[in-house]
Every structure is written in structure tokens, then in C-alpha cells.
A and B are shown apart, each in its own frame.
Chain A
Amino acid sequence: MSVVTKVVNWARLKSPWILHFNTGACNACDIEIIAALTPRYDLERFGVVLKATPRHADILVCSGPVTKQIEDRLIRIYEQMPEPKFVVAVGTCSCSGGVFQGCYNVKGGVNNVIPVSAFIPGCPASPKAIMDGVVKLLLSLEEKE
């Protein structure tokens, strides 16, 4: 591994910018994600910054089951993200469809539509669980490199 790639990887792990995307959630997980970003839990100390556009984001944080209406939009957003990109599914619905599994308007978990790197179950997933999941994802990336 060249020095340049090493530096790039180091920088990447120290500043995982995220995009929060609601794929059909009831809003509970969204609030917990926001809570995890606030100073009380402070995900920002890991370099996590919430971005407003997929073009700046490294990690796509999804909440909620994927509805049939949002499916195309989710794929479009995912494809707009630059490589390397990771997806985190927050909440039970996002992991498997949860209570909405089998509904006529729901596609199921996020992994039915796009590849997912980390699953964070919980209804809603607590901020601590979200932090744990994000940190575990970052650690697994560190090990790979």
C-alpha cells in the first residue's frame, strides 16, 4: 500500500460523512439518529458529520422499511454516492421490514434493494446502539486495510 492510499484511508476513517435517509420510517429511528448526533452522545467526535447531499457522503444511514414508492429513489441516492460507500440500516424495520413485512406497499428491509454493511436493530434503535454500530463499521474497515 502506497503512502498516499494510507493517508487517504486514514482520513476516510477519521471523517466518515453520513447522509440520513428515511426510506419509510415512522420517524422514531430518525429522532434517535438525530439524538446520536447531538452533543449529548456526540457522534461528531468520531468525525461523523451529517451532510445534506449524497455526493459528499461516505455512509448512507437508512431508517425504516423500504416502501415501493421510495425504492427507485433509494437506488438513485445510493448511486449518487462516491465510492467507497457504505450503508447502515438503523432499526428493525430497516433490517428486515419489521412489522411492515409483507405489507402490499413495502419491499422489506434495505438489504432487499441495496447492499448493507451494518445492521442496527431496535425499535427504535437507541443512540447508543447507533453509535456502537457506526464504530463497529469503522473498526471493521480499519481491519480490512
Chain B
Amino acid sequence: MSKEEAIKEKLINKFSYLDGKVNVQRVRRIFTEVDYVNFLDVFVYLKENLGFGHLCTITGLDEAEKMSLIYHLADTAGIIVNLRTSVLKENPKVKTVSNYFPGAQIYERELIDLLGFKVEGLPEGSRYPLTDDWPKDQFPLRKDWKDSVKSSMKNTLE
């Protein structure tokens, strides 16, 4: 059995609700989806028990009625588990993972600024990557965002 299949089996044995949701797409790439209520269990299990000690990045997605997150976790063999989870768009509240991966802070600040996620438990800090005077309720990477700031840009070259 390949390494990827072994990880898939361990995940399904531990969490029965993952049955049929773990997909080994190709060599060293595993995709899985989990409801947000169970997300941290799977996340912590991957980190503590299966050796996925590196969080490559977090992808944020705006999918109309819900907002999705993909946590890309890697181990030393180069296997990446793409753990996907969703929250409702009206209240896109997630818990921070910066207590497991301190480096996740910067990804989570980006999620807050650009997509309007609410991350609970994130330490106080300056905003990133938008400027300090950026309006608090404007999230430029949301699909329904209209640029009202753009009109302030004039090009004096004309």
C-alpha cells in the first residue's frame, strides 16, 4: 500500500465521517473535506499523530453562499493534505490555528483583510496586507466587492 493510501486509511479509521471524502488525487497529493464542527479534530490529528508538521498556506475562497478554507498541510516526505472546510458567509467565523502553527498568523490576517473572515483567538496586531486607513468593511477579494476606492485614483500622466 502506498504512503498516501496508508494516510487515507488512518484518517478514515479515526474519523468515520471522512469515509468517501478522502481522495488521493495523485502521488503525494491528498484532498479531503470536513464540516467545520469536526475541522479542528482532523487538523490536530494530522499534525500530532500523522506528522503533518508544516502548514504550507491557507487558501480562502468566496463561494457565493459560503466561504471556504483550504489548509495545505505537508509532512517531511512531501505529501500534502489539502484539508477543506466551509463556513456560512453571513458569519464566517473560524478559530485560529496559530496556537498550533505560529506562522499561520500571517495567513489568517490576510483572510481577515482580504476576504472578511472572523478569526477567533488571533493575538492583537496591526492589519495585513492592506493599509491602515483601508475601510473596515471592505473586503477586496470577495466576489461581490465593488471598488469604490478605485475612483480616487487619478493618473496625472494624461
Contact = CB atoms under 8 A, between A and B. Distances in A.
Given A104-B140, A104-B149, A105-B140, A112 B131 contact: no
Interface in B119-158: 129-131, 134, 140, 147, 149-150, 153-157
Which of A68, A69, A97, A109 has most B Cβ within 10 Å? A68
Interface residue SS majority, chain B: loop
B154 A104 contact: no
Contact of A68 (B131, B147, B157): B131
A92 to B, nearest CB: 11
A36 interface: no
Interface residues of A, number: 15
B97 to A, nearest CB: 26
Interface in A91-120: 95-97, 101-102, 104-109, 111-112
Which of B131, B140, B147 has most A Cβ within 10 Å? B131
Given A69-B129, A69-B131, A102-B150, A108 B140 contact: no
A104 B147 contact: yes
A89 B150 CA distance: 22
Interface residue SS majority, chain A: mixed
A95 B157 contact: yes
A112 B150 CA distance: 14
Contact of A96 (B130, B131, B157): B157
A68 B153 CA distance: 11
B142 to A, nearest CB: 11
Contacts of B157: 95-96, 109, 111
Contacts of A107: 153
Nearest to B151: A102
A68 B130 CA distance: 8
A107 to B, nearest CB: 6
B131 A101 contact: no
B72 to A, nearest CB: 24
A104 B113 CA distance: 13
B57 to A, nearest CB: 19
A121 to B, nearest CB: 11
Given A105-B130, A109-B156, 6 more contacts: A97-B153, A102-B153, A104-B150, A108-B153, A112-B154, A112-B156
17 contacts: A68-B130, A69-B129, A95-B157, A96-B157, A97-B155, A101-B153, A102-B150, A102-B153, A104-B150, A105-B130, A106-B153, A108-B153, A109-B155, A109-B156, A109-B157, A112-B155, A112-B156
Which are the 8 A-B pairs with shortest beta-carbon distances?
A: A104-B140, A68-B131, A108-B155, A96-B157, A108-B153, A102-B150, A111-B156, A104-B147
Interface of B: 129-131, 134, 140, 147, 149-150, 153-157
